[in-house]
């Protein structure tokens, strides 16, 4: 075209770095935030990109009389385990267990914590790290939230609610029953009535002078009342039990054959958790069978066995729910044949049909019964009491060899189009 484009490129040394973010305040139950490092040269020019430079990110606890560990307030997530997107260079760093110039910070508890970023390479030793302070808050509102105009001697009931992922949860002033109390009221056994938040206030108002105690001569009473009670306060949050849905999953074992990619043989399933604070840490007791990421998505391996997946409440790791995962290689496989019309509707009764089952390789998969099966059974549809449909079934026995076999089921009196539709492909592997 005859057009000449020109671009000036400057290569300079990094003199300082700063952490930037859209907000320094995070709210529980809301979306995580992204922290990004920006670098500047000696003349305060900002670098356009930091490419694949590796950084060290640390969570620092804020010192104070009631300081809480930074790891219990916020945590660093990888982009691979989130819905956020970033540059290919940062994905490459995460694949090598490193972190780039951007990280995702997720709030898990109220409090204040610091995040520090430092260039990882030794050639940047002179570049000072950058630190930012983040505050995690709980969204608490008063309802009704609008101005009230009331008459004398009338009252309005207000409710304190907290917002979690856009949903409001009410907090209560009394969420438990006292089952037993000690004589002096310093010890109680309670039972929670409902989920919510409450404040427990306790105070020592007096002391009883027991026998064998020496007292000043001016103290004549056996019970001394404190002029200033010794008091304390504790905020208690009551949650519903944590449950993982579903409670159990069973996956068929898939053998690794020839040069097939390993990922082909992995099953993915999205687990759901309910109860607790709504924020969970997912773990698997046996990652060699199935692993789970921070979003509750499980991924099986090519091994046979059992594992337990746990969803722990981030506010209390002892508050958790579990589910079971089994990866099995059953020798006996039952196949069911459903008959549908041209519009895909299931027939209610096919007891008059004669069904022929066949295996393309009887050495790999053989029928336990006769090849020509007329066994028909009724199955009850889910969540119904009266509706039942009939299906034809056949049980096959799998060998101890690896291979592939095609199972066909045909209905006598129908053409080949029907036969081609009624077939399945089974991959067979040895029992371990």
281: helix, strand or coil: strand
The CATH architecture assigned to 243-328 reads Sandwich (2.60)
pLDDT score for 207: 78
* Fold exhibited by the domain 141-211+221-239: Immunoglobulin-like (2.60.40)
Query: Domain 16-137 has what CATH class?
Result: mainly beta
- Output the tens digit of pLDDT for each of the chain's 432 residues: 789 988 888 888 999 999 998 888 898 878 889 999 999 999 999 998 898 899 999 999 998 776 788 888 899 988 988 888 899 999 999 999 899 999 999 988 888 999 999 999 999 999 999 999 999 988 777 878 788 888 888 888 887 777 665 555 555 556 677 788 777 777 888 888 777 777 777 777 777 776 656 666 555 566 777 778 787 777 788 888 999 999 998 887 766 544 444 444 478 889 999 998 888 999 999 988 999 998 899 988 888 889 999 999 988 889 999 999 988 875 545 555 555 665 666 655 555 566 677 778 878 777 766 544 343 444 444 444 444 444 566 677 777 676 777 777 776 655 444 433 444 444 444 433
- The model's pTM is 0.43
What are the tokens at 260? 């097939």
Q: Is 189 exposed, middle or buried (0-12, 13-18, 19+ CB in 10 A)?
A: exposed
* Separation in Å, CA 300 to CA 262, 290, 306, 385, 409: 11, 4, 10, 36, 31
pLDDT score for 258: 44
pLDDT score for 259: 43
Q: Cα–Cα distance between 317 and 319 in angstroms, integer? A: 5
pLDDT score for 354: 66
If one counts every other C-beta atom within 10 angstroms of the C-beta of residue 25, the result is 11
Q: Quick one: which H or E segment has residue 174? A: none
Q: Cα–Cα distance between 90 and 54 in angstroms, integer? A: 9
CATH 2.60.40.1080 location in the chain: 243-328
CATH 2.60.40.10 location in the chain: 16-137, 141-211+221-239
pLDDT score for 352: 56
* Separation in Å, CA 429 to CA 238, 304, 425: 49, 11, 13
pLDDT score for 261: 44
* Separation in Å, CA 209 to CA 13, 111, 186: 74, 41, 16
Residues 200 and 233: beta-carbon distance below 8 Å: yes
């Amino acid at each position: 075209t005859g057009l000449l484009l020109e671009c000036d490129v400057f290569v300079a040394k990094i003199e300082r770095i700063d952490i930037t973010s859209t907000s320094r305040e995070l709210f529980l139950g809301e979306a995580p935030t992204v922290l990004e490092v920006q670098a500047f040269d000696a003349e305060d020019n900002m670098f356009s990109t930091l490419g694949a430079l590796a950084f060290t990110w640390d969570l620092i606890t804020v010192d104070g009389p009631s300081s809480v560990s930074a790891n219990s307030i916020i945590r660093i997530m990888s982009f691979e385990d989130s819905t956020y997107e970033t540059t290919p260079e940062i994905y490459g760093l995460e694949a090598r267990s490193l972190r780039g110039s951007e990280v995702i910070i997720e709030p898990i508890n109220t409090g204040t914590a610091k995040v520090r970023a430092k260039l990882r390479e030794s050639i940047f030793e002179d570049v000072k790290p950058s630190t930012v302070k983040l505050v995690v808050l709980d969204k608490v509102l008063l309802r009704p939230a609008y101005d009230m105009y009331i008459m004398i001697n009338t009252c309005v009931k207000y409710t304190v609610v907290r917002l979690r992922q856009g949903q409001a949860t009410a907090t209560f002033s009394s969420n438990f029953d006292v089952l037993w109390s000690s004589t002096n009221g310093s010890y109680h056994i309670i039972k929670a009535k409902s989920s919510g938040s409450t404040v427990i206030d306790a105070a020592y108002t007096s002391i009883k002078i027991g026998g064998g105690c020496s007292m000043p001569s001016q103290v004549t009473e056996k019970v001394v009342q404190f002029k200033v009670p010794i008091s304390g306060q504790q905020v208690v949050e009551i949650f519903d039990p944590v449950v993982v849905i579903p409670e159990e999953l069973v996956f068929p074992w898939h053998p690794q054959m020839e040069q097939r990619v390993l990922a082909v043989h992995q099953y993915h399933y999205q687990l759901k958790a309910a109860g607790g604070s709504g924020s969970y840490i997912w773990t698997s007791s046996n990652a060699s069978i199935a692993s789970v990421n921070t979003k509750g998505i499980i991924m099986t391996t090519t091994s046979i066995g059992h594992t337990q997946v746990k969803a722990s409440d981030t506010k209390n790791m002892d508050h958790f729910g579990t589910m079971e995962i089994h990866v099995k290689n059953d020798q006996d496989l039952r196949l069911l044949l459903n008959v549908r019309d041209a519009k895909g509707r299931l027939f209610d009764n096919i007891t008059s049909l004669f069904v022929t089952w066949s295996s393309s390789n009887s050495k790999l998969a053989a029928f336990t019964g006769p090849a020509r099966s007329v066994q028909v059974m009724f199955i009850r549809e889910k969540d119904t009491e009266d509706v039942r449909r009939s299906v034809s079934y056949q049980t096959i026995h799998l060998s101890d060899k690896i291979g592939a076999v095609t199972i066909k089921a045909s209905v006598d009196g129908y053409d080949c189009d029907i036969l081609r539709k009624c077939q399945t492909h089974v991959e067979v592997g040895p029992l371990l």
